[in-house]
Amino acid sequence: MAKPVLPGFALVVENRITEAIARGDFDNLPGAGKPLELDDDALVPEEERIAFRIMKNAGFIPPQVERLAELERLLASEEEVDPAKRAATGRRLRALILQLEADGRTATATRVWRDYEAVIARRLARPKP
């Protein structure tokens, strides 16, 4: 199978990685031979996932990623039984979604709105006690 033709910088990077592999630079890395532990980053835009993962591995978590993690936690807890807590959670969730929209991250905000609507629909579909 032929190698794909890579543009300028990508070709340089690919060549350096190939040379490092040939030298054995990656042979004794921590976790070698073990599966990667991938976090659920479905709410992070695809074009930003690698950069955010690198920053996270370096111990830096950008505020945007912290907000996305908070959104995921809020969506998971939205089905709480306590109506007072549910109201506060819903307000915070909506505020974070609006902040995404204001930041120009409309695709992510749209996805979260859909997830939020699905949570509400499931909650409303449940029989009342």
Read off the pLDDT of residues 7-39 as tens digits, 9 standing for 90 and up: 677 778 888 889 988 998 888 877 777 776 656
**Residue 22 domain-assigned?**
no
Exposure letters 34-49 (e unless 16+ CB within 10 A, then b): eeeeeeebebbeeebe
Q: Structurally, how many domains does the chain consist of?
A: 1
> For residue 79, how many other CB atoms are within 10 A of its CB?
13
**Residue 103 domain-assigned?**
yes
The two structure tokens encoding residue 101? 């929209």
**Residue 95 domain-assigned?**
yes
**Residue 70 domain-assigned?**
yes
79 SS3 class: coil
**Residue 24 domain-assigned?**
no
Q: What is the pLDDT of residues 96-116, one digit of tens each?
A: 888 888 888 888 888 888 888
**Does residue 2 carry a pLDDT above 60?**
no
- The pLDDT value recorded for residue 6 is 56
Domain limits at 78? 62-125
Query: Confidence band (pLDDT; 50, 70, 90) for 129?
Result: low
**Residue 35 domain-assigned?**
no
Place of tokens 């950008």: 62
**Residue 10 domain-assigned?**
no
Place of tokens 């499931």: 122
Nearest Cα residue to 96 out of 115, 120, 83, 123: 115
pTM of the model: 0.49
* Whether 23 contacts 31, CB under 8 Å: no
**Residue 53 domain-assigned?**
no
